[in-house]
Structure 1
């Protein structure tokens, strides 16, 4: 049964990681709907490695160009004039906030932040933020216009995703739209910026898989990770084509609707409990 549940959760992870609807929220919400045990923060972090490996494979040319260009820039003044050198630093600087905040708030991330009241609320709030960003964003700047200040702001936006329900891609894309970047450019940068954070968090949480904050053992967790990788590859390809011509409005509606449903069900459950106690 653990393998079947992990396959379902891996499928869910692959479908939701790159969409601005929060994969970690879905991995916390849907087990509750099915009456399953919360898979835990460790499972969530590790299975996300699968979707990030999909990003690495899909963008390997970009990653190789940025990585090799950054390394060359360490030894060559001429190479430091290339855009790859700057982009390498942008990814490094943009990754620091979520690393520092994630380590500082690790205990909260593993416990209080996984509260469904928190998740339902953040789904709605960030859905509204994404909707506003979609409406007011100029959708004009290419990724080549990225600046040091904007890299920091985008990194801070990504760091908000330590709270399930925020969504790394959703927060980063929203900030990119507010700063005037093209929808496709903001999405592409969000994917690249997530790689160090997600892979780093997953590797860090490997220690908690056996007997730690994880409802499954190594076998089911690895199966879920493989499923997430396969599904994630398809979703990346679809999303980049989608955002080049269409808006994020459907995801805004979905986030708000799901968040409202979660809060309504929680409220109804609490009311039923109160009635039972009073009776």
Structure 2
């Protein structure tokens, strides 16, 4: 992998990890169009580190508050709204962990195709448009309850299907339950932290056991680029969604899905 390829792939990963437009749909484009090889396990770990650092640092105050409240709820019986939200994030994380353990091999074998990605990009884009159009937009993230958190967590588990978009499907689910766009996005970003952490740890363990040699300069390129692009993406997205809603992302998803279909038919 060249430095240019590492930079472009990390840039794509950073921008698309938190936008509701599907990172998997974008990451197949360089290999499909330019014939680039798979980035490899070490690079996957690097971009996970970068995006995790971005969301943790951006929400550093919330993360520290929620983590402290979570510990206080265990050891001191704290029942604050911050403690409740922390537990809702834990509950929302469980389905993806279970689904990942049970379905990972099946998805890798049968669902990681460009046709699946094109189809899910379009279908879940239309679902996002419909829900955003009908959403009540009245609740903040502190009004999350166990049932809603669990169902949003199940939606997050479905994002293992390529083309779905983790942030897209979780924001869609939160909007369906009446949360504001900002609250839906914040909850989606906060619940991404344990998932990215677990995924990065899993890939890291696989990397250590594989004994594959790594180019540290390429990895540093991936970490820094994915960190910067993800941080900028989170900031801009949260600033703009209250004014423009989800329609621009829906239009983009439809164009991307249809473009992939045209490319596949022509190839």
TM-score bucket (shorter structure) = over 0.9
| CA shift for structure 1 position 83 | 0.8
> Matches of 1:75 and 1:245 in 2, distance apart?
42
Tell me the residue number matched to 1:273: none
Whether contact under 8 Å (1:141, 1:182) holds in the other structure is yes
Give ranges in structure 2 of 5+ residues lacking alignment: none
Classify the secondary structure of the residue corresponding to 2:136. Answer: coil
| CA shift for structure 1 position 208 | 3.9
> Matches of 2:109 and 2:21 in 1, distance apart?
21
| CA shift for structure 1 position 202 | 1.4
> Matches of 2:45 and 2:161 in 1, distance apart?
13
> Matches of 2:99 and 2:42 in 1, distance apart?
17
Tell me the residue number matched to 1:141: 139
Tell me the residue number matched to 2:57: 57
Tell me the residue number matched to 1:253: 251
Whether contact under 8 Å (2:159, 2:166) holds in the other structure is yes
| CA shift for structure 1 position 41 | 7.0
Classify the secondary structure of the residue corresponding to 1:39. Answer: coil
Q: Which has the larger radius of gyration?
A: 1
Q: How many residues align?
A: 266
> Matches of 2:26 and 2:41 in 1, distance apart?
12
| CA shift for structure 1 position 231 | 1.3
Tell me the residue number matched to 2:106: 108
Taking structure 1 as the reference length, what is the TM-score of the superposition? 0.88
> Matches of 2:226 and 2:246 in 1, distance apart?
23
Matched, 1:85 2:72: no
| CA shift for structure 1 position 58 | 0.5
Mapping of 1:118-133 within 5 angstroms?
118-133=116-131
> Matches of 1:117 and 1:41 in 2, distance apart?
24
CA RMSD of aligned residues (A): 2.1
| CA shift for structure 1 position 93 | 0.7
Taking structure 2 as the reference length, what is the TM-score of the superposition? 0.92
Whether contact under 8 Å (1:139, 1:182) holds in the other structure is yes
Match of residue 175, structure 1, among 173, 176, 189: 173
Whether contact under 8 Å (1:42, 1:209) holds in the other structure is yes
> Matches of 1:40 and 1:104 in 2, distance apart?
23
Tell me the residue number matched to 1:198: 196
> Matches of 2:67 and 2:157 in 1, distance apart?
22
Give ranges in structure 1 of 5+ residues lacking alignment: 270-279
* Deviations, residues 161-201 of structure 1 (Å, cap 9, x unaligned): 11121111100000011111100000000000011011211
> Matches of 2:163 and 2:49 in 1, distance apart?
18
Whether contact under 8 Å (2:22, 2:163) holds in the other structure is yes
